[in-house]
Structure 1
Amino acid sequence: MSSNNRRIFLKKAGAAVALSSLTFDENLFTSLPTLKGEPDLYFSNGIKIAEVTTDSAIFWTRLCADRTPKPVKHERREEVFRHPIDFDENGNVPDMDGAVAGKSGMARVKLRHKSFRYTSEWIKTDADKDHTIQIEVANLKPNTRYDVLWEAKSQENGPVSRSQGQFTTAPAPMATEDVSLVTSTCQYFWSFDDQTRGFRSYDAMRQLKPDFFIHTGDYIYYDKPGPMATNTEKARHKWHAMNGWPSLQDLFAQTPIYMLKDDHDLLRDDVDPSKPKFGELTYTDGLKIWSENAPLHAEPYRTIRWGKNLQIWLLEGREFRSKNKSEDGPQKTILGAKQKQWLEETVSASDATFKLLFSATPVVGPDRPQKTDNHANKAFETEGKWLRNLIAKQNNMYVVNGDRHWQYVSQDADTKIMEFGSGPVSDFHVQGWDADDVRPEHRFLRLKGGFLGITVKTRPDKKTEIAFTHYDVNGQAVHRETFEA
């Protein structure tokens, strides 16, 4: 990257960090004191509004010592993933590309809607949680738009830093509201396609003004260079660098997020709980760092109701799985007995018009024969058949998956259930399939990056439909499938 581009990166990243790309309005909150002095900590990793329900949300941030991330100074290889050239894996982590140092301090969150006001207690941060803060707020109203204000300071009487956001809670279960959501997967820091913003797909998603966003795993890659995350410090750096991109911050400041984890978010490729350490990084370390960055109300598997016409299930595919290469059979599992029982009961009880199952890995495929870590593979064939049959018994239920580095729509030959793969977030991350290898299951196949948009709406004729639209990285629609309930 040229020195001129690096200067642009710093300038634009700084603007995004300060205001999350929203106009700061000091009249937004009553009794807002005037800032005194220059702030000495920053929201340089943005804010997230997570796990939104009809009446609750979790607010996340990380307090930072640096106003902006360290600039990207390495050139990249002209190959898949765009690995950095001459990167010193053993260098000083705080000086690495995209690094953002944390800082101890305290923060609180404020919410506002019309005459409603809420202010949390001041919460202190510490290095053990990487200076991250999660504040859960309950007793909110359904389908209500709230303004969000974060305030932070390094000491009791110190200057205050601020960052703003906005979000809308989910509609009540019987409300017939239209729904718009976006989803993406597989993003390696060095696969960025915009030198100042990070990933163009995120800016394109934001332009659609979705109700919420679901990330289906591989948010970061511990086992790719720049650096390899062989210890806790390097693993946390991966999150800092990714969350430092302005395009992500701008979407998350105004769009609720739900996150699924996959192998690269936890340790290494195709990980299960039996896998050995990655350098010094353990499976337990990976779980801890994930919990610092991905807020949850309770279990890692959960269901979200968004009005009368949509219910979503988010599966956990790493914590409860058997060894990938053990012999298949009734006891071999990705989901675990407790999650399977929960899934069967909640899906069967749902009266939502449309149902969406989100999985970090494929359920239908097709996938490559050498892979052994998902329900589309022979390695988990027994549970895969059980899951596909469960879905097939439901009316209007579809699968959305992550993990695969190409966009596709497929239909299972036996059960006729359909699966939609969003593809990776950038074109630089595409690999693993041949564009000419179109199988009978494929209704759509595209070896490019982008994202998937899903809308549910009631038409003028009172019928309800769901539409799945694949977009390229610039937000241009490349394929759409529409189904009537």
Structure 2
Amino acid sequence: MTSGEIDRRTAVRSAALAALTTGGVLLGGGPASARGVPALVRRGRPELTHGVQAGDVHAGQATLWGRADRPARLVAEISRDPSFRRAVTVQGPRVTPETDLTGQWAVRGLPPGSDVHYRVRAVDLHDPRRSGRPVAGRLRTLGGSRRDVRFLWSGDVAGQGWGANPEYGGYRIADAMARRDADFFLCSGDTVYADGPLQPTVALPDGRTWRNLVTPEKEKVAETLAEFRGQYRYNLEADNWRAFLASTAQVTQWDDHEVTNNWYPGEVLDDPRYTERRVDVLASRARRAFHDYVPVAEISPDRVGRVYRVLHQGPLLDVFVLDMRTRKDPNTANDETRRDGGVLGEEQTRWLVRELRASRATWKVIAADLPIGLVVPDGAAAQEGIAQGDPGAPLGREQDVARVLTALQDAGIRNHVWLTADVHYTAAHHYSPDRASYQRFDPFWEFVSGPLNAGAFGPNALDDTFGPRAEFVSAPPVANTGPAGGYQFFGEVEIDARTRALTVTLRDVEGRGLYSRTLEAQRR
């Protein structure tokens, strides 16, 4: 294989296999096109409306995403060369109103350890010679020979009244993240704020005015499927965010604000903003919108639609993406003494322990959408998070975490790092049994970073059950400090291929490093 082209034989073999297993539709296909949906009649050629994205790059494959302005077929060209010489053409799915004209599909046979350029266009369903302008993106594959790794993580987009501001190109932090030239971006939940309406302007403490882009779907809480879909389209109206997602593949999990604040299954809202107050109904619509607009590989073993999964990124890194929301128990005082799977659920817990034991990568990064030791109240008496402030033996949801930490110790797995967002500030936490009431685990680190573009808060109190110590904290002096105030954060993880050391750097809205910690790889 030459340096200027994809391994054509691999791509052809993958295409042929997919055609055999999917009834002739090349390369897997995302959401299938709807039968019987009347076509939208428009003049001209079909065009993409909201850029392109790639997600869940692993094992020589990636999931591509696009949205057209009418029913069409999505087609991608794939090449190692940004000029698209010797490109491979990959047929994608038909897109229809059933999926809000979005489509995503797997492309396979990508070369390891390479920058891969792709461009997507929409093709007329009745005349394949008529297609719109191509929109280009780039992703990076890992794996193969040992090489350095760099990825970013954060969460919380357009919350607490702080939306996309055209004066910053959309989201202020996006430009700093793009400059890091990361292999991928891990979004740790709250990808949208479906419960966070926006106003056109917000008065700032210094007398300036923050100006939000506002769309009809962002003027009220999301209840209908169309309104939930509009939350995702809103983010893609931000020019620099759309550009960042086109240049950096994502790994995405969801948390609460994709539905509504602090939700749990079976909840019935007491909120006059909602006409539909059954959270299970809202969550079903929100889940469908999430899968319409976020490129997620169909690799989760879950039978009911949760998105926990493991992404193998070569010999240095495995990423374990958790879903701590879909099976979450009600927000009580969280002090139950009997373990009931209140944050992961039994099936996901068994899966996580099994996959961690099977992992041969040097580092195991566990992407959690809730922090372990931070106390996150939900009102006066209830608890939203894993911890609850009782420094004694594990209670409530802490019992799920204790089970996982002990399984890691029993298996001799040392090199695990936990990453999260959720609390709207950035911090580095070291956990040790020497300081803990529960001691059946090995010391480990948890790093917190966020928000991307939302109100900043904190810091939260730590629960001593697992012996956490805050080694670094950066939080705003005033609650709900907006992006103009500077307290927006993302984290960066780098793994040195030669030494196998992992370095975490916490960065601010301009990309400046605030804190850095290097962890040496330990032998099993």
Which category describes the TM-score, using the shorter chain as reference length?
0.7 to 0.9
One-letter code aligned to 1:480: S
What's 1:279 paired with? 275
- The alpha carbon displacement at 1:372 in A equals 2.4
Which deviates more, 332-341 or 253-262? 332-341
C-alpha offsets along residues 163-186 of structure 1, whole Å, 9 cap, x if unaligned?
Answer: 0112222213xx321000001111
Q: Which of 164, 181, 205 lines up with 2:151 in the alignment?
A: 181
Within the alignment, does 1:112 sit opposite 2:79 as a pair?
A: yes
- AA paired with 1:409? A
Equivalent residue number for residue 338 of structure 1: 347
Q: Once superposed, which parts of structure 1, at least 4 consecutive aligned residues long, lie more than 4 Å away?
A: 38-41, 366-371, 434-437
Q: Which amino acid is 1:441 matched to?
A: R
Alignment of 1:64-463 (within 5 A): 64=69, 103-113=70-80, 117-121=87-91, 123-157=93-127, 158-172=130-144, 175-188=145-158, 190-192=161-163, 194-196=165-167, 197-225=169-197, 226-265=219-258, 267-276=259-268, 279-280=275-276, 282-294=282-294, 295-299=296-300, 300-325=307-332, 327-368=336-377, 372-377=383-388, 379-391=396-408, 393-412=412-431, 413-414=435-436, 415=441, 416-426=443-453, 428-433=454-459, 441-447=469-475, 448-458=487-497, 462-463=498-499
CA distance in 2 between partners of 1:268 and 1:285 (Å): 12
Query: 2: CA distance between counterparts of 1:141 and 1:279?
Result: 50
Identity %: 20
Residue by residue over 1:185-213, the C-alpha shift from the partner in whole angstroms, topping out at 9 and shown as x without a partner, is 11116424742412122211110100011
In 1: Cα distance, 2:337 partner to 2:240 partner: 42
The aligned amino acid for 2:275 is G
| Pairing of 1:35-54 with structure 2 (within 5 A) | 40-54=45-59
Does structure 1 conserve the Cα–Cα contact (< 8 Å) formed by 2:501 and 2:519?
Answer: yes
Greater RCO (Cα-Cα under 8 Å, separation 6 or more):
1
Structure 1 residues 218, 442: closer, same or farther in 2, change over 3 A? same
Provide the residue aligned with 2:483 in structure 1.
Answer: none
Q: Aligned pairs, how many?
A: 403
Give the aligned partner of residue 31 of structure 1.
none
Preserved contact between residue 216 and residue 358 of structure 1 (Cα < 8 Å): yes
Q: Aligned partners of 2:299, 2:353: CA distance in 1, in Å?
A: 19
Change (3 A) 1:345 1:44: same
Contact 2:165 2:171 in 1 (8 A): yes
- In the alignment, structure 1 segments of 5+ residues that lack a partner are 1-37, 65-102
Relative to structure 1, the CA distance from residue 446 to residue 330 in structure 2 (aligned partners, 3 Å threshold; closer, same or farther) is same
Report the 3-state secondary structure (helix = DSSP H, G, I; strand = E; otherwise coil) of the residue aligned with 1:250: helix
Q: Distance in 2 between matches of 1:209 and 1:466?
A: 17
- 1:55 maps to which residue? 60
SS, match of residue 418 in structure 1: strand
Q: What is the rounded CA distance, in whole Å, between the counterparts of 1:106 and 1:50 in structure 2?
A: 20
Return 5+ residue gaps in structure 2 as ranges.
1-42, 198-218, 301-306, 389-394, 476-486
SS in 1 for 2:510: coil
Q: Is the 8 A contact 1:231 1:279 kept in 2?
A: no
Equivalent-residue separation in structure 2 for 1:388 and 1:122 (angstroms)? 42
In the superposition, the TM-score normalised over structure 2's length comes to 0.71
Q: Which residue of 2 aligns with 1:17?
A: none
Please give the alpha-carbon distance, in whole angstroms, between the structure 1 residues aligned to 2:352 and 2:80: 35
Per the alignment, residue 88 of structure 1 pairs with: none
Contact 1:145 1:167 in 2 (8 A): yes
What SS is found at the alignment partner of 1:430? coil
- 110-119 vs 135-144, greater mean Cα deviation: 110-119
- How big is the shift at 1:228? 1.1
Tell whether the 8 Å contact from 2:367 to 2:419 is kept in structure 1 after alignment. Answer: yes
CA drift of 1:394 comes to 2.0
SS of the residue 1:264 aligns to: coil
Following superposition, the deviation at residue 221 of structure 1 comes to: 0.8
C-alpha contact (below 8 Å) 2:253/2:322 kept by paired residues: yes
Alpha carbons of structure 1 residues 298 and 286: separation in structure 2 relative to 1, 3 Å = same
Letter in 2 for 1:307: G
Tell whether the 8 Å contact from 2:338 to 2:396 is kept in structure 1 after alignment: no
Q: Deviations over 1:42-101 (max 9, x none)?
A: 43322111111121111011123xxxxxxxxxxxxxxxxxxxxxxxxxxxxxxxxxxxxx
Q: 1:133 to 1:193 in 2, by over 3 A?
A: closer
353-362 vs 105-114, which moves further: 105-114
